Chain A
């Protein structure tokens, strides 16, 4: 039997309404989850070895990808920047261009995106699989709260790792630009470092970059632990949750970066 156009529209509206309600309910659940993680966070620091272990998995094991990526991004920035700057005879400002780009934007953002792909997805998959194999239920039945034992240490491990990785990314980027600019195309090393030191402001540039990376760390880690904890306990559910972590984290980083940049650097041109 064919449905009438009215029935079709009613069905579509019903689905839209159900979808909207489900989205709002999930958002509310996520907010309650975040509060619960905050409540259980002291446990992550009282048993520091659990958090240190997660810093190792989220941070230390991400060092290679962050260092290599940072170096290549710095070299590409130097290559592209030199091409433009030398047209105006400002090639000695290459160090400034690279350092400000990395410290203000690319360091926190690109390392955040890499962190979400490498560590965020791993955290989601691990927690999701623990749920699918009833390890979280087993913990609950042993009177051990999974939020305190599993989730909070992973969340704080990510939050602590992220700014350190962003700092490493920026450092390796500057080093890559130095290798390309000073060692390969003979820009004066004194100008490269001197101009950089004069232009990069600790308060406006470095501290703001650190703040950005901490915010991205909180966002990515919270999304990763939530998606893992909320995953359907099936192979497909864990796979979807892992994908959602990468997509949501990437979008959150880019959106938060815009908002933070607007607030952090809006008055800088007048100074």
Chain B
């Protein structure tokens, strides 16, 4: 490995290995030389005339694991898409490393995305490629590293998630948990500065759930990255995150560290933590009174 690396020209290696946080910080505007990786400032967004987020503000510090929690359809995934630049806010700003994502042109946005990793809800592995090719995809697209080095790096990433032996399998041959772990290896393939996880725990068995949760924490600490986890799994999140935001109806209604959340008396947080069917988040979708509707035809 060392001998092989020594034969690769320096510019090619630099093109692959991300520059250190210190040099990135030095190249950024003064305002960006902070410990904040991502900041949403009073962000409002909606599809057509349906508002999804209204005046959301949050900060995600460098090197931390931050969870964004809330019920289905509350706008959690929209926040990830805003951070990734797939959507633009109607008002407010989304700042990543001090740069406003919405103001970036296509080239600058793609340059920024090279330093992102994203784990999609069901993995989103490329179904026409093997596990190995999935993990190698970004390396082959963005670098011209020799195939031997790509091979070593892919095997290292797969070893980290415990699936080196599954390198030759197709995505259709993987279980849900394995697919999620491969997607995790792919997300960190280029050693990103920020990894976003969209419902990483959805549909996993208890063992896979624990494995994926621990991996998120371990990779975050080992690689020095920043992690944003969008989820509705409170128990698993409480084990691994540094900070949590609770989103409901497009607004942040509670936030705090894992311990603060456990001790919180907030009705919404309690309903979420205890999994109560009714509370601030109603069980019933808005409807006319039951009796009135049942006897309406009489």
Contacts and interface: CB of A to CB of B under 8 A. Distances in A.
B122 A133 contact: yes
A142 B137 CA distance: 9
Interface in B101-125: 110-111, 113-114, 116, 118, 120-122, 124-125
Given A133-B124, A137-B86, A143 B118 contact: no
Contacts of A139: 126
Interface string B71-105: 00000000000001010000000000000000000
Interface residues of B, number: 19
Contact of A133 (B86, B127, B142): B127
A184 interface: no
A143 B113 contact: yes
A138 B189 CA distance: 13
A246 to B, nearest CB: 23
Given A133-B127, A143-B111, A143-B114, A138 B120 contact: yes
B138 interface: yes
Given A140-B86, A142-B141, A134 B111 contact: no
A134 B86 CA distance: 13
B118 A141 contact: yes
Given A141-B84, A141-B118, A142-B113, A135 B127 contact: yes
B142 A143 contact: yes
A144 interface: yes
Contacts of A134: 120-122, 124
Main secondary structure of the interface of A (DSSP, over half): helix
B113 to A, nearest CB: 4
Contacts of A144: 137-138, 141
B56 to A, nearest CB: 21
Interface string A22-65: 00000000000000000000000000000000000000000000
Contact of B110 (A135, A138, A143): A143
B116 A141 contact: yes
Contacts of A133: 122, 124, 127
A143 B141 CA distance: 9
Nearest to B183: A138
Contacts of A149: 141
Interface in A110-162: 129-130, 133-135, 137-145, 149
Contacts of B111: 143
A130 B126 CA distance: 8
B280 to A, nearest CB: 31
Nearest to A138: B124
Contacts of B138: 142-144
A224 B81 CA distance: 27
Contacts of A143: 110-111, 113-114, 116, 138, 141-142
Q: Which of A134, A140, A142 has the most CB of B within 10 A?
A: A142
Contacts of B125: 135
Nearest to B84: A141
Contacts of B118: 138, 141-142
B76 to A, nearest CB: 15
Nearest to B114: A143
B141 A137 contact: no
A187 B126 CA distance: 56
Contacts of A142: 113-114, 118, 137-138, 141
Contacts of A138: 118, 120, 124, 126
B86 A141 contact: yes
A139 B127 CA distance: 13
Interface string A211-244: 0000000000000000000000000000000000
Contacts of B126: 135, 138-139
Nearest to B190: A142
28 contacts: A130-B127, A133-B122, A133-B124, A133-B127, A134-B120, A135-B124, A135-B127, A137-B124, A138-B118, A138-B120, A138-B126, A139-B126, A140-B113, A141-B84, A141-B113, A141-B118, A142-B113, A142-B114, A142-B138, A143-B110, A143-B111, A143-B113, A143-B114, A143-B116, A143-B142, A144-B137, A144-B141, A149-B141
Interface of A: 129-130, 133-135, 137-145, 149
Q: Lowest 9 CB-CB distances: which A-B pairs, in order?
A: A134-B124, A143-B113, A138-B124, A143-B110, A141-B118, A134-B120, A143-B114, A142-B138, A144-B141
